[in-house]
Amino acid sequence: MTDALELLTTRRSFKAVELTGPAPSAAELDTLLTVASRVPDHGKLAPWRFIVFEGEARYAAGGAIAAAFAAKYPDAKPEHVDAERQRLARAPLVVAVVSRAAPHVKIPEWEQVLSAGAAAMNLVLAAHALGYAANWITEWYAYDRRVLDALGLAPRERIAGFIHIGKPPGKAEDRPRPPLSDIATRFSA
Ligand SMILES: Cc1cc2nc3c(=O)[nH]c(=O)nc-3n(C[C@H](O)[C@H](O)[C@H](O)COP(=O)(O)O)c2cc1C
């Protein structure tokens, strides 16, 4: 129990560019995705899925991001377009958590979206537990239809996050957290 609390209270994001190799092994990736899929899910709909970007595939996906950027900004300098190509190659592993939330007769869509957030958070925590660090980011391309099409997202699907995973550069400094007195109240009649 202490170990679990230690893990939860020491987790910190690092910038994607700070995350280095080696990438998680195939077995570790299985563990990461298994933990990510082990979340509360009203109606057992599995309203999320994962897309893994590793090795050269990160650059192929980056090509789609760069193409979308160039289409959006036709006057963009080549070096800026090229920087976009590196987007998913900053960390050795990136996992896109895709929300598949959709209208349902019984289960509110909102709850399906929350389940995708839980999957993303479990993935981040599992990475930490395995000795990696993570950064949960979306950035502009998570909202660009051209990019989403290229990554194979259906029209209703949305990116909950691109979870960047790699070895941390060192120990994490914490950032200020909201005081409990600001965010928690006790209900009294
Ligand atoms: C859904 C979601 C999307 C995010 N997208 C970005 C982003 O695009 N760029 C960014 O710098 N941070 C983004 N963040 C915040 C990072 O995850 C940030 O590093 C983190 O909140 C720091 O928190 P920590 O100190 O608890 O690790 C996002 C967070 C969430 C939950």
Q: How far is the CA of 134 from the centre of ligand 1 (A)?
A: 10
| Model confidence at 153: pLDDT above 70 | yes
Q: 95 forms bridges with which residues in the sheet?
A: 52, 163
Percent of the chain residues past pLDDT 70, beyond the cut: 99
Residue 133 pairs with which residues in a beta bridge? 166
pLDDT of 1 higher than 80 = no
Alpha helices in 55-174 (DSSP H): 57-72, 78-85, 109-129, 145-150
pLDDT over 90, % of the chain: 97
Q: Which atom of ligand 1 is nearest to the CA of 11?
A: 27
Going from the Cα of 146 to the center of ligand 1, the distance in angstroms, rounded, reads 23
pTM equals: 0.97
SS3 177: coil
The tokens for 174 are: 């914490």
Atom of ligand 1 nearest to the CA of 142: 8
- Cα–Cα separations (whole angstroms), residue 83 to 27, 32, 79: 31, 28, 6
Q: What is the mean pLDDT of residues 39-47?
A: 98
